[in-house]
Amino acid sequence: MHGRPRKAPKPEDLAAFSAKAEKLRILQSQFLSNHHQKIYTKEAVELSAKLLEINPECYTAWNYRKLAVQHSLFESNLDPDAVNSILNDELRVVENALRQNFKSYGAWYHRKWVLNKGHSSIENELRLLDKLQNVDPRNFHAWNYRRFVAALLNRSDEDELNHTQDLIDKNISNYSAWHNRSVLVSNLMKKKVQAFSQKDEVLIREYELVRDAVFTDEDDQSGWFYHLWLLDQTVKAESPLLTSSWPAHGSDITLSGDRYLDLGSSPFNTYHFDSGSLPLILYFNQAVEGVNVSTVTVSSGFNVNKDVIWKPILSNNSKTAHVWVGQLKFPKVELDSLGAYTLECMYNLPKKNQWMDLVQKKYHGEMKNFHIYEPDSLESDLVLPLDHLSIKNEHELSDSSWQEKIIDEEISNFRELLDCKIGKLTLARLLTARDALVSSDKSVHSEEVLRLYSELMKLDPPHSQFYKDEHSLILFEKVISGRESLLSYCFRYKNLTSSSSSNPICLRLNGLSLSRLGSFEKLLWVQMLDLSHNELRSIEGLEAMQLLSHLNLSKNKLGSFTSLESLRHLKSLKVLDLSYNEIGAHSVDTTKYLCSSPLCHSIGSEWDGSELVTDGVSLVSYWEAFFILKGLKLTQLDITGNAIADEKFTAFLAEVLPALKWLDGVQLN
């Protein structure tokens, strides 16, 4: 019952209803009896029409009519006049039914079914649709039907685009028309039809049109999503880019006797490894497939390329990934006996590759040497090449000036609309996109963008968390982007091991009130990360940080183990602090279907009995924890301060994680 007022019916109405109900009941039972006995006489078919006129949703009656049509088409010997009359009858019944209920799925489909029989009067359909769409310009079924008829008539996309234009001109707040426009314009651009072959020209035209909509009524959402789509079309890279790698392209690696890897004596890139191989990490700006020895060449001091097996870091059942990891194996020589090795890491990707175009737009430039400021350390003169000093590639960026021009134009337009939320939000997005176009490490507009998001949080409280997440992404990038800024968050633990110079740096991004993480491509080198005292609900994307060995997520808002899916891919992780989160405190798990589990039939989600280390009862109650943690070789874990962390649970953890030495600060036997 939609939109019908709640009131007790009057007695006289009650009687009328009851009579109506009785009549309908008799119709329905007569109809079902005809249907079961396959009676297709004129009377029987007429009865079903009467029924559908009152109750168009009675799907079985539409099925019956289809059977009846097939029956009479067979009887008619396909005489054209008879066929037309049979099909016309059906169209009439559908029209009557739609008059009763404009949203009847059964009626609309019946009409399509009739037309698919090759009915000749198809032009009438557009006229009928115009009438219907006049009454309800947003009707979902009518729009679907229009696309169906247009396809049957072979109408060109340009003609249909004109039709949407008419509707938009009539009422700029017709989201359905804007939607159809997006479909048609996409098609036309893809096909590079004459007026749509120049992408920038198309975009400029469309920006102008949609700006009218947004500026006419800033609360009307019709143009919002269209504008965002145009922005995406403006900045979207045509092909995937390799945004960063570890070790960086062209970096010199020294392997020293005690199995440390040293890249140019940099503490940022000191990496301790205990297997005979070194991870190589590639980070792409979009998920790609097909990274293997034939598409990526690694040249180094050793002739080891053929040994590298590239594996995607996958979630769910995707076949493509942002992050690919290869293991570089060393020759089987005792490192100890040889002292130091030098190895130069060079990645070469094919020049004309279908899936990638190796352009490092953001960080291209010469190697720069940085001095590190270490608040926590006495050694302050270390020379640091940051890992994202990368490739000066012959594939220079394609000319981006038209993009810059368009966005600058939009920025100046939207500066005029700052008294409403869509104005502020759009401006923030435009400025972010503008910064991304510039080939520098600095985001010129980040302060302004942060201010806009802060204002939005106050202006539109119901969606404040949305703006907060956007704010966090910008803030996070700002904090780790500039060299001075980054260095001010880098610390070194003094007494971790005896030789303090080889201690990895700890990146401490705690207490920044971050609700979301991003910019992982800049953090591939991090081995120790402190994200405590933030507002994180998820750590999606963290799987890119393959070198992580220590991770502090204490005092955040993590609500379940499934939100920690990324951890499953961090094979080097040894120390993990999850204390004082909200794990176990919620009845609704918002990441249940974003992780690999039996519920989503994902790869690797089968219970593997050979790894069974605990009793089934715990396994059933704690399956999420089991799935996330079972493959990790943690030596230290803190879980206290979570609703789930009772005695039973900690006992379970001790069983699942046999390598664990410390649990909540207590040494295990």
Site residues (CB under 8 A) for another protein, limited to 430-489: 461-463, 465-466, 469
Tokens 């096909």 belong to 191
CB of 344 to another protein, least distance (A): 29
147 near another protein, rule: CB under 8 A: yes
Q: Give the one residue of 224, 283, 284, 622 binding another protein; rule: CB under 8 A.
A: 224
Q: Which of residues 397 and 654 has its CB atom nearest to another protein in the complex?
A: 654
Q: Which of residues 409 and 582 has its CB atom nearest to another protein in the complex?
A: 582
Of the chain, the end-to-end C-alpha distance in Å amounts to 65
153 near another protein, rule: CB under 8 A: no
Q: Which of residues 287 and 420 has its CB atom nearest to another protein in the complex?
A: 287
Helix (H, G, I), strand (E, B) or coil at 394: coil
73 near another protein, rule: CB under 8 A: no
At 536, the amino acid letter reads L
CB of 132 to another protein, least distance (A): 16
Q: Which of residues 53 and 252 has its CB atom nearest to another protein in the complex?
A: 53
Contact 509, 489 (CB under 8 A): yes
Tokens 């633990």 belong to 493
Binding mask 585-604 for another protein (x = CB under 8 A): -xxx-xxxxx-x-xxxxxx-
Residues numbered 267-286 forming contacts with another protein, rule: CB under 8 A: none
Distances (CA, A) of 280 to 269, 319, 327, 524, 604: 13, 20, 6, 10, 23
Following DSSP, what letter does each residue of 398-466 receive, concatenated?
PP-HHHHHHHHHHHHHHGGGTTSHHHHHHHHHHHHHHHHHS-SS--TTHHHHHHHHHHHHHH-GGGHHH
Q: Which of residues 572 and 618 has its CB atom nearest to another protein in the complex?
A: 618
Q: Which of residues 234 and 390 has its CB atom nearest to another protein in the complex?
A: 234
Q: Which of residues 29 and 297 has its CB atom nearest to another protein in the complex?
A: 29
CB of 234 to another protein, least distance (A): 13
Residues numbered 306-365 forming contacts with another protein, rule: CB under 8 A: 315-318, 320
Q: Which of residues 543 and 638 has its CB atom nearest to another protein in the complex?
A: 543
| Upstream peptide bond of 247 is cis (omega within 30 degrees of 0) | yes
Q: Which of residues 143 and 260 has its CB atom nearest to another protein in the complex?
A: 143
Report the distance separating Cα 555 and Cα 650, nearest Å. Answer: 19
88 near another protein, rule: CB under 8 A: no
Residues numbered 5-34 forming contacts with another protein, rule: CB under 8 A: 5-7, 17-18, 20-22, 24-25, 28, 32
Report the distance separating Cα 480 and Cα 487, nearest Å. Answer: 8
143 near another protein, rule: CB under 8 A: yes
Burial of 617 (0-12, 13-18, 19+ CB in 10 A): exposed
Strand-strand pairing, 310-312 and 321-329 = antiparallel
Fill in the DSSP letter of residue 339: -
Q: Where are the beta strands (DSSP E) in 519-580?
A: 528-530, 550-552, 575-577
Residues numbered 182-221 forming contacts with another protein, rule: CB under 8 A: 182-183, 186, 220-221
617 near another protein, rule: CB under 8 A: yes
Residues numbered 528-567 forming contacts with another protein, rule: CB under 8 A: 537-538, 540, 563
Report the distance separating Cα 603 and Cα 327, nearest Å. Answer: 22
CB of 323 to another protein, least distance (A): 13
CB of 404 to another protein, least distance (A): 23
80 near another protein, rule: CB under 8 A: no
At 483, the amino acid letter reads R
Q: Which of residues 2 and 458 has its CB atom nearest to another protein in the complex?
A: 2
CB of 397 to another protein, least distance (A): 25
Residues numbered 501-530 forming contacts with another protein, rule: CB under 8 A: none
Strand partners, 636: 575, 662
Q: Collect all residues with Cβ–Cβ distance below 8 Å to 86 and sequence separation of at least 6.
A: 69, 72, 73, 76
Residues numbered 230-269 forming contacts with another protein, rule: CB under 8 A: 232
Contact 122, 115 (CB under 8 A): yes
The backbone torsions φ and ψ at residue 381, rounded to the nearest 5 degrees and listed phi first, read -105, 20
> Cα 88 to the chain's mean position, in Å?
47
CB of 431 to another protein, least distance (A): 17
Q: Which of residues 184 and 637 has its CB atom nearest to another protein in the complex?
A: 184
- Kindly state the number of chain residues that form the binding site for another protein, as judged by CB under 8 A: 97
